[in-house]
């Protein structure tokens, strides 16, 4: 997803070379550890119900920003809500990370032997993310 690289370049000055993309059978992962940003996102096209999550899911694993973290995490979620559906992604999830979800307030959903925070990409999520 080239758009994520453009997003981080335009908003934080992070170059494409500083963003690690790792493809795998189910989709790809994005890693950033630059300029006070520590980010790990999974883009799952085929989850095979791993961790009980559906296909076509964007999973925020880590999203730490050096300053104004709440604002930056919410801005990232808004970007994903507006962009990810164009690539066939249907859901935003946070796996077992209460601290990260404090910024987004996604509903908690029990999944196989665990829990996560989860919401479909849609207008309701857009409203939830409004300040």
Residue 91 vs residues 42, 56, 67, 122: alpha-carbon distances, Å: 12, 7, 27, 9
Calculate the CA dihedral of residues 121, 52, 54, 89 and round it to 10 degrees: 50
pLDDT of 96 reads 80
Most trustworthy range by pLDDT among 32-41, 110-119, 122-131: 32-41
DSSP secondary structure letter of residue 127: H
CATH number of 2-7+27-128: 3.40.630
- The mean predicted confidence, pLDDT, of the chain is 89
Q: Tell me: the pLDDT tens digits for 80-121?
A: 999 999 999 999 999 888 889 999 999 988 777 677 898 999
User: 125 pLDDT band (50/70/90 cuts)?
Assistant: very high
Region 1-17 average pLDDT = 89
Per-residue pLDDT at 47 exceeds 90: no
pLDDT of 110 reads 79
- Residue 70 token pair: 């709440």
User: 21 pLDDT band (50/70/90 cuts)?
Assistant: very high
User: 72 pLDDT band (50/70/90 cuts)?
Assistant: very high
Q: What angle do CA 68, 94, 75 make, to 5 degrees?
A: 35
Cβ neighbours of residue 86 under 8 Å, at least 6 residues apart? none
Instruction: Judge whether 100 and 63 are in contact, CB under 8 Å.
Output: yes
List, as one string, the DSSP characters of 94-117. Answer: EES-HHHHHHH-PPEEEETTEEEE
Cβ neighbours of residue 22 under 8 Å, at least 6 residues apart? 28, 29, 30, 31
């Amino acid at each position: 997803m080239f758009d994520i690289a453009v997003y981080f370049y335009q908003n934080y000055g992070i170059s494409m070379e500083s963003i690690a993309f790792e493809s795998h059978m189910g989709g790809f992962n994005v890693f950033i550890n630059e300029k006070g940003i520590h980010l790990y996102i999974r883009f799952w096209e085929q989850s095979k119900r791993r961790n009980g999550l559906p296909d076509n899911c964007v999973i925020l694993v880590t999203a730490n920003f050096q300053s104004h973290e709440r604002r930056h995490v919410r801005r990232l979620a808004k970007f994903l809500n507006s962009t990810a559906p164009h690539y066939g992604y249907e859901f935003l999830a946070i796996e077992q990370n209460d601290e990260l979800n404090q910024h987004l307030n996604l509903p908690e959903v029990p999944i196989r032997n665990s829990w996560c925070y989860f919401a479909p990409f849609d207008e309701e999520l857009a409203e939830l993310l409004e300040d």
